[in-house]
Amino acid sequence: VERTLSIIKPDATARNITGKVNALFEEGGLRIVAQKRLHLTKAMAQQFYAVHAERSFYDELCEYMCSAPVVVQVLEGESAVTRNREIMGATNPANAAEGTVRKAFGLNVQENSVHGSDSPENAAIEISFFFSGIEIA
Ligand code: ATP
Ligand code: MG
């Protein structure tokens, strides 16, 4: 089985809908094998999103990600990376398919409720950014 790193973003924790988001993951066939809530520092957000450092929205994105707590989690299942991105829907909620997390809960292209790793290689890097081995079970 495969694992992916998921983040329930500040817009969703602020609205107290983490359970509703998790229900879509579980109904979609993924298992939450690690989960914790924390408030990112700006430095942590900048490090996590370093791949986007050259993008125009990088600073705004990092500010947003540390504006309220997040829930970071490891999701496990068959083709978990791809499956999770299907469950999340398109980056811009306006383009997200019916039944996806971003269609149901996303507010706009930045406040789009969830992050998911984009490849198994990045999933391994992102999981180790937040979790040690014994925290995943
Ligand atoms: P994520 O990496 O969060 O799962 P993604 O892979 O669908 O989302 P990316 O292109 O990796 O999208 O962008 C990372 C995040 O940056 C997006 O989820 C969103 O919060 C923010 N973002 C992306 N595009 C824009 C934009 N044009 N304006 C503002 N914020 C954006
Ligand atoms: Mg991405």
Catalytic residue among 115, 123, 130, 131: 115
Which residue blocks in the chain are alpha helix, DSSP H? 10-14, 18-27, 42-48, 58-65, 80-88, 101-105, 120-130
Residue range 57-81: average pLDDT?
98
- Collapse the DSSP code of 128 into the 3-class scheme (helix H, G, I; strand E, B; otherwise coil) and give the result: helix
Percent of the chain topping pLDDT 90: 100
**DSSP secondary structure, 69-96, as one string:** -EEEEEEEETTHHHHHHHHH--SSGGGP
Instruction: Indicate whether residue 57 lines ligand 1 (CB < 6 A).
Output: yes
Q: Does 102 belong to an annotated binding site?
A: yes
116 Cα to the center of ligand 2, angstroms: 7
Based on the residue annotation, tell me whether 52 is a catalytic residue of this protein: no
88 Cα to the center of ligand 2, angstroms: 11
pLDDT of residue 40: 98
How many other CB atoms are found less than 10 A from the CB of residue 103? 17
Residue range 72-99: average pLDDT?
98
Interhelix angle 80-88/120-130, nearest 10 degrees: 80
Q: How far apart are CA 75 and CA 114, in angstroms?
A: 13
Ligand 1: atom nearest CA of 91 is 7
17 Cα to the center of ligand 2, angstroms: 22
Q: What is the pTM of this model?
A: 0.97
Note the ipTM here: 0.94
**How confident is residue 105, by pLDDT bands cut at 50, 70 and 90?**
very high
